[in-house]
Structure formats: structure tokens, C-alpha cells
């Protein structure tokens, strides 16, 4: 399968009725209220460098972020924190991500999520996470150089463990936790959500440290 065909299949997915209903409801309501606003309102494929050594693995699209723009972590506060950090780390050419076609290029990083549709309350069900794992498998098939999983938040951390059929109790989540999974390393961080960044639970300095650790792991033998 080509990359273009995979992205088309992801964007056309309707496997989870609850997620389909919610993502489309959000888009329809905004289109009705603001005639000049367009919403993607579909599953969001990954974005980035297919030679990446680092996979940034999030939770799910934000209802008014990537569910609107069609690009991971784009259009909301999470992306406003994540993309400047990637730029500071030398992993992108721009400090912002505003929309598809804005000229943003990632270097050595690919971004996707455990679930590719916006879930109500930002809480996908375990079944929805398992269902979306088939897209994780197919996206990862294009990422032959990966060395580091950078999981943003416990749900993303646990979803990667589930994908590898590993017991969560053996690999507990913590900010900065680090585990060897085959030939790759699972490195985890608090999620870059507004709830964490505005309360100081996750600071820019803390996240910069995580990205530097990810870079060192990605470049190690």
C-alpha cells in the first residue's frame, strides 16, 4: 500500500460509531454557527518525517484542534506548546503549526496518536483504542528507522504497551519513565494539554528535557 492510499483509508474510517457521531457533530455545529469555518471532522492521519527515529505518540485529536485542521496537534493549546518545543529542539523548521500547507517540516520526528478521531471528553474507550491500533500498525510499517516512542500521557503510554501486548503493570507510567521494548525505547511524558501546561505540571523546561533525552536515545548505537 502507498502512503497516500493509507492516509485515504484512515481518513475514510468509520469503525467506531461513537467517535464518528461526535467528530461529525462538532464539525456540523461549527459550520452552522460560523459559515466561514471549515472542519476536517474525520480521522486524522499522522504527520512528519518517514525517516523519523522518534515517534511522538499522542492521545487523540482535539475536538477544535486537529479535528478542525486535519493535522495532529494543530489548532489548539496542545499544539501551541508542542510545536515550539520541537523547533527549540531542532526537530522542525518552524515554531508553529497552523494548517496543512503552512510550510512546516519535521526533522527526524513523526507524530500520530492512539486514536485518530476526536473522542467526547478526550476519553476514548479501551475498545476504540484497540480498534485504532490497526492504523498504528500500518503507519509504523512506514517508519523503519524508529528508535524511540515518545508517549504523551498515560493513555498513549498504555496504548503502546497494548499494541505490543505487554502488561501495563510491568511498565508503569511516569513522567520521564523509560523502558526498552525490543529494539526501541518507550519514553513517556505528561501530556502537553492545557490542563498540564497552564497549571505548571508540565513546564517548557521539563518537556525540553524529555525531547533532549529522546534525541540522545534516537542517536545512540
pLDDT score of 211: 98
pLDDT score of 95: 98
pLDDT score of 153: 98
* CATH fold group of domain 3-218: Uracil-DNA Glycosylase, subunit E (3.40.470)
pLDDT score of 1: 78
3-state SS of the chain is CCHHHHHHHHHCCCCCHHHHHHHHHHHHHHHHHCCCCCCCCCCCCCEECCCCCEEEEECCCCCCCHHHHCCCCCCCHHHHHHHHHHHHCCCECCCCCCCCCCCCCECCEEEEECCCCCCHHHCCCHHHHHHHHHHHHHHHCCCCCCCEEEEECHHHHHHHHHHCCCCHHHCCCCCCCEEEECCEEEEEECCCCHHHHCCCCCCHHHHHHHHHHHHHHHCCC
Residue extents of the structural domains in the chain: 3-218
pLDDT score of 38: 86
The mean pLDDT values, 10 residues at a time, for the chain of 221 residues are 92 98 91 77 97 98 95 97 98 96 97 98 96 97 97 98 96 98 97 97 98 96 70
pLDDT score of 30: 79
pLDDT score of 55: 98
Amino acid at each position: 500500500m502507498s502512503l497516500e492510499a493509507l492516509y485515504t483509508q484512515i481518513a475514510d474510517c468509520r469503525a467506531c460509531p461513537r467517535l464518528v457521531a461526535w467528530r461529525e457533530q462538532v464539525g456540523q455545529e461549527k459550520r452552522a454557527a460560523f459559515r466561514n469555518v471549515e472542519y476536517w471532522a474525520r480521522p486524522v492521519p499522522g504527520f512528519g518525517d518517514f525517516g523519523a527515529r522518534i515517534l511522538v505518540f499522542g492521545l487523540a485529536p482535539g475536538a477544535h484542534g486537529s479535528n478542525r485542521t486535519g493535522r495532529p496537534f494543530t489548532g489548539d493549546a496542545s499544539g501551541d506548546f508542542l510545536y515550539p518545543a520541537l523547533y527549540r529542539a531542532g526537530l522542525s523548521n518552524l515554531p508553529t503549526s497552523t494548517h496543512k500547507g503552512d510550510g512546516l517540516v519535521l526533522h527526524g520526528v513523526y507524530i500520530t496518536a492512539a486514536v485518530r478521531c476526536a473522542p467526547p471528553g478526550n476519553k476514548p474507550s479501551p475498545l476504540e483504542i484497540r480498534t485504532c491500533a490497526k492504523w498504528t500498525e500500518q503507519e509504523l510499517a512506514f517508519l523503519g528507522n524508529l528508535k524511540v516512542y515518545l508517549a504523551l500521557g498515560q493513555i498513549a503510554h498504555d496504548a503502546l504497551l497494548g499494541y505490543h501486548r505487554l502488561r501495563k503493570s510491568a511498565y508503569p507510567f511516569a513522567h520521564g519513565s523509560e523502558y526498552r521494548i525490543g529494539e526501541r525505547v518507550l519514553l513517556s511524558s505528561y501530556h502537553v494539554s492545557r490542563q498540564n501546561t497552564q497549571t505548571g505540571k508540565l513546564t517548557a523546561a521539563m518537556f525540553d528535557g524529555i525531547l533532549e533525552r529522546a534525541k540522545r536515545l534516537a542517536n545512540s548505537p
